[in-house]
Chain A
Amino acid sequence: MVSLTRLYDVLVIGGGNAALCAAITAREAGASVLLIEWAPKAFRGGNTRHTRNLRAMHSEPTSVLTESYLEDEYWDDLKRVTGNNTNEELARITIRETEGSLPWLEERGVRFQPSLTGTLNLSRTNAFFLGGGKSLVNALFNHAERIGVEVLYDTEATDLIIDDGFVREVKIVNKGFPATVRAKAVVASSGGFQANIEWLKEYWGAPAENFLIRGTPYAKGRVLRSLLDQGVHQIGDPTQCHAIGIDARAPKFDGGIASRLDSVPFSVMLNQNGDRFYDEGEDVWPKRYAIWGRLIAQQPDQIGYSIVDSKAEKLFMPSVFPAYRADSIRELASLLGLDPDKVEKTISEYNAAVQPGVFDSSKLDGCTTTGITPPKTNWAQKIDTAPFLAYPLRPGITFTYLGVKVDDRARVLMANNEPTANLYASGEIMAGNILSKGYLAGFGMSIGTVFGRIAGREAARSVLN
């Protein structure tokens, strides 16, 4: 029975993978653990609900991973996406610990499967959760409750009262009622602040109103704000986040994977003015999809339109919302509310610039344009075969990188780099220590699992000694 008058050994704030890994580890070490999750049970699990895999180091094939993926290659991959701007110590800890994470999760009921269709590029490096992240969340909550972790849903942490580097108590709102929880140690695994549009506007201004949030609406950054306001060491660029281009018709929050659109490399991308604004065929889509959120965010009204003709329709995954369809470019432009003259002009200029070549959707085919800016450097085919199709795209924010600084024991550091006495962090709230920019598929789950386990272990150790 959860009791709010009780002094728990460890309080875990959050309900995603990082929180669950921390809670389970602390409980298995013998600590009494209370986990508070803001979402109601149906929406528990934070952004983990929408994830699908974890990037794991391995020296030989595992139950679901092929070949091997060693520390140095993993590290090189991370260096490349972050532009070498990462904390090598924490990054290498994460990489090394992922090897044991897979069996650790399996022992606690998480099921894996070989990589999904269309993600063969990840079959060696990323272990996919059978049924996706919600299935992992279910397994870990079941395990946590079985071993005696106490769980409160519908419970928001609003403030941590820190006194000289020591968390005295945590203010919560439980099903609408304010209350206080006390614990000897606290693990903050409450995510980023991407669902807090007002906060995003501090950095992005009004355009943030047009951002769609791909994941949980409960990542408002309340705990992060509370910590930063009390002199905890801030880390990460507040404008940095994982942002992709998603279907503009997706719900404001929680659209998840289904709102993804893969049409961009085989299309022409137009902005609200009917102009092209970036090379759609710069590289293969798995390497480029994560730049389009930012690109679209910089366009007027934060919207872009991916235009293809019927030749290209079957080259990408089906979309959840049907394409706008018309028999002429002018008609299509009208459907989209764009200037038909302008769109027709842009498309005919593009068509005139397309060079002959052998189209091949599976590789950089060198089918390019000449004489237009920006060029399209691969998969440039004329848009000339009706019906014409269009998909509207907006920036879709996955998670923000602004966070709290931690050390190798997941202890949260104060601004003077002194560790706090009893505060630990795991997951998106501290991912900025390792991910300053860019993204590596499945790496968020790696950080969450590894630092969740470290935070749980260290929190339990500190209170049980």
Chain B
Amino acid sequence: MSSINLVDLAEDNLRDEARRAMEVCNACRYCEGYCAVFPAMEMRREFSDGDLDYLANLCHNCQGCYQSCQYAPPHPFGINVPKAFAELRLQTYADYAWPQPMAKFFDRNGTLVTLLTALCVAGVIIALMLIQDAKVVFASHVGPGAFYKVIPWGVMTAFAGATFLFAILSLVMSFRNFWRASQRPATDIVRPRTLARAMHDIFTLKYLGGGGHGCNDVSDQFSMRRRYYHHFTFYGFMLCFAATSVATIYDHVLGLQAPYAFFSLPVMLGTIGGIGLVIGPVGLIWIKIISDPAPLSKKMIGGDYALLMLLLLISVTGLLLLGLRETGAMGILLAIHLGFVLAFFIAIPYSKMVHGLYRSAALIRYALERQEESEAHAAAQGKPKVKAA
């Protein structure tokens, strides 16, 4: 007797469960107005592992399809797309990680990112105490080069540069692995029209919009909160990154040494970004705490909390550092802040941060598929289209 498997599948069969869900969804299709996943699903009748990895990363976890699903548990079909995809996404983070041995980092991501953070902060403080006289650490320093009196410029730059460049390399390799699964040439990525559409979808978080109504972020009610908190987080992060970049130019090109005045460009960017990076993670953590746990993946959520807390601690210590930089607390605060930043740089390719990478790749692929579909449709105009009841 051929019949679909109605039993919850074991963890090593994440793709089978995702495939089963997609086969039920493809016979229903009520959710196609929510996001990109369902139109992408409808372009297929069969789902290869690569297709499922792509669809799982196309899912923004807005949970609209779960809350509106007539087949959600306790229905015998037991369909829970956001959960099935979240668990598969985590698996794809491991499967496409570079170098491969680091895939293990995703097994207990929350614990490991937290542990890494603790070690980095402790490590920087201990190293500081070993290389620096306590009097220097706890003295108040003002004027150009004040920070470097505590932690030498060369040390700071070497660690930041090495970890950041490695993170970039690792992300590029992971992106390449993920894209290869699509069996499309790399040149497809940079087609201007589809890339522009994908960038729009990425930077506006279009698919946390639930067809314009928002997510079912905490319950079956729609809300834009998650999208806005993510914007605070993302754009706050980008402003902080811009602050660092501008400061680097100030230092290396203009020869102006930090700390800079409060109303200088790097400090303004960093302050505004830092505030965003407080509001965003706090909001996202709060939403996770109060949300309906049914469509969430327990395996994923530890890593989510770990990264959000890390971002929050970076921004909070950064702002504290700004406020107290002329006092004797500056030295130790700087060490703590840089400890968090170091942990973040190391963790980028092996933390929830990679969701942005794969989701962007999935959105680029979706833009391509949609473009090709409309081209094929235009070419077939006048040719019959299959109708369904």
Contacts and interface: CB of A to CB of B under 8 A. Distances in A.
Interface of A: 42-43, 49-50, 52, 109, 111, 113-114, 116-121, 128, 130-135, 138, 142, 249, 251, 254, 256-260, 262, 284-286, 289, 314-325, 360-363
A285 B387 CA distance: 8
Given A52-B30, A260-B27, A286 B387 contact: yes
Given A52-B30, A113-B33, A131-B30, A138 B75 contact: no
Contact of B28 (A111, A258, A362): A258
Nearest to A253: B76
Contact of A362 (B39, B74, B213, B387): B387
Contacts of B74: 42-43
Interface residues of B, number: 42
Contact of A119 (B45, B76, B213, B388): B388
B385 interface: yes
Contact of A131 (B4, B23, B65, B75): B65
Given A131-B30, A260-B27, 11 more contacts: A130-B211, A138-B221, A256-B70, A258-B24, A258-B71, A262-B389, A289-B389, A320-B27, A321-B2, A323-B2, A361-B384
Contact of B222 (A111, A116, A286, A360): A111
A118 B387 CA distance: 5
Interface of B: 2-4, 23-24, 26-34, 39, 42, 45, 64-65, 67-77, 210-211, 213, 220-222, 384-389
A42 B78 CA distance: 12
A50 B39 CA distance: 20
A320 B222 contact: no
Q: Give the most central of B27, B73, B77, B386: most A CB within 10 Å.
A: B27
A102 to B, nearest CB: 16
Contacts of A133: 70
Given A50-B70, A113-B211, A251-B76, A317 B27 contact: yes
A362 B386 contact: yes
B68 A285 contact: no
B67 A317 contact: no
Nearest to A42: B74
Q: Give the most central of A117, A118, A131: most B CB within 10 Å.
A: A131
Given A134-B70, A138-B220, A362-B385, A319 B3 contact: no
Contacts of B68: 130-132, 134-135, 138
Contacts of B64: 131, 135
B29 A260 contact: no
A249 B389 contact: no
Contacts of A362: 384-387
6 contacts: A111-B213, A113-B33, A132-B28, A134-B69, A314-B386, A361-B386
A301 to B, nearest CB: 17
A133 B220 CA distance: 13
Q: Give the most central of A133, A251, A258, A262: most B CB within 10 Å.
A: A258
A284 B387 contact: yes
Q: Give the most central of A111, A284, A314, A322: most B CB within 10 Å.
A: A111
B213 A130 contact: yes
Contacts, number: 132
B256 to A, nearest CB: 53
A318 B45 contact: yes
A322 B220 contact: no
Contact of B77 (A42, A50, A258): A258
Nearest to A142: B221
Q: Give the most central of A142, A251, A321, A325: most B CB within 10 Å.
A: A321
A289 B388 CA distance: 10
Contacts of B45: 314, 318
10 A-B pairs with least C-beta separation: A131-B68, A362-B384, A132-B30, A113-B33, A118-B388, A135-B68, A320-B27, A138-B220, A258-B27, A317-B388
A366 to B, nearest CB: 14
Contact of B71 (A113, A256, A260, A321): A256
A117 B42 contact: yes
B61 to A, nearest CB: 16
B34 A131 contact: yes
Contacts of B222: 111
Contact of A285 (B213, B384, B389): B389
A117 B30 contact: no
Contacts of A121: 387
A325 B2 CA distance: 9
Contacts of A260: 27, 389
B4 A321 contact: yes
A135 B67 contact: yes
Q: Give the most central of A128, A135, A249, A259: most B CB within 10 Å.
A: A135
A256 B75 CA distance: 11
Contacts of B2: 321-325
A261 B197 CA distance: 36
A132 B26 contact: no
Contacts of A135: 64, 67-68, 220
B41 to A, nearest CB: 10
Contacts of B220: 135, 138, 142
Given A142-B221, A321-B2, A324-B2, A130 B33 contact: yes
A131 B33 contact: yes
B30 A320 contact: no
B69 A262 contact: no
A261 to B, nearest CB: 9
A210 to B, nearest CB: 17
Contacts of B221: 109, 138, 142
Contacts of B24: 258, 320
A211 to B, nearest CB: 18
B26 A318 contact: yes
Contacts of B387: 118, 120-121, 284-286, 361-362
B308 to A, nearest CB: 28
